[in-house]
Amino acid sequence: MTTKPTALIVSAHAADFVWRCGGAIALHAELGYNVTVACLSFGERGESARLWKEGKSLQEVKDIRRKEAENAAAALGVHELVCFDKGDYPLQLDQSDKYELVDLIRKVQPKFMMSHSQYDPYNTDHMYMSQVTLEARMIAQAWGHNPGEKVLGAPQLYLFEPHQTEQMGWKPDVFLDITPVWEKKRKAMESNEGQVHLWDYYTRVAQQRANHFKRNSGGMSGGRDCKYAEGFQSIFPRTVDEL
């Protein structure tokens, strides 16, 4: 029996994975990957303003955000959604929390991973999550951590696009054509009814990145057509046999 390739998305808040890499998730799910999404919090304090304005309690906000994340994950074809419920604004993890993420990484054995940009002054939860993901990846590779378990190889970590890109020092070196799965991403975005203002914003981002995809695939002299794309920044060198 052939083992399916896997991927792991590490998301600080419940909706981050939708806006920033929903297309990559849906595309790789269609390619036969088992894509696991880890949400470290529901974004209940800092990213649920509409629900608080409606007078919802903390538990009600978390329940609504969880359901939205589940609906979005289903729309994208996520294999497993893991909700850590560690709280947000600020997101702070102790060592045992980090080991939970390490355990998940070793369980999934991802071919590639994705998380946030390394700098985000507008939302320090995001850059903290990037730091923790790198730390957990390192621990998962250590033979001396829980000896006897299967250690992690060397999966690429892709950083997905932050909200105010120009302020974050984020430089994409990979553009992914998500046109074939765009409707799945749009449906997933619309599952997040508490952040309606982002639906069209991230549609425009995908259209802009499609322009960059086409330009970098050949431009006006034969670039591949693309209507929607996502951009990513890779952290580690890639090993190749030819260019």
The pLDDT tens digits of the residues spanning 83-117 come to 999 999 999 999 999 999 999 999 999 999 999 99
Q: Regarding beta strands 156-160 and 6-11, do their DSSP bridges make them parallel or antiparallel, or are they unpaired? A: unpaired
In a domain, 185, yes or no: yes
Kindly report, residue by residue over 141-189, the tens digit of the pLDDT: 999 999 999 999 999 999 999 999 999 999 999 999 999 999 999 999 9
What is the CATH number for 22? 3.40.50.10320
Q: In angstroms, rounded to a whole number, what is the distance separating the alpha carbons of residues 110 and 70?
A: 21
| Backbone torsions φ then ψ of 162, nearest 5 degrees | -80, 175
Domain assignment present for residue 125? The answer is yes
Question: What is residue 162's three-state secondary structure?
Answer: coil
| Distance, CA of 33 to CA of 25 (rounded, Å) | 9
Its pTM stands at 0.96
Could you tell me if residue 1 is inside a domain?
Answer: no
Question: Is 37 among the domain residues?
Answer: yes
**Mutual orientation of helices 16-30 and 58-76 as an angle, nearest 10°?**
30
Write out the two tokens for 118: 């390394």
Segments forming the whole domain that contains residue 19:
6-233
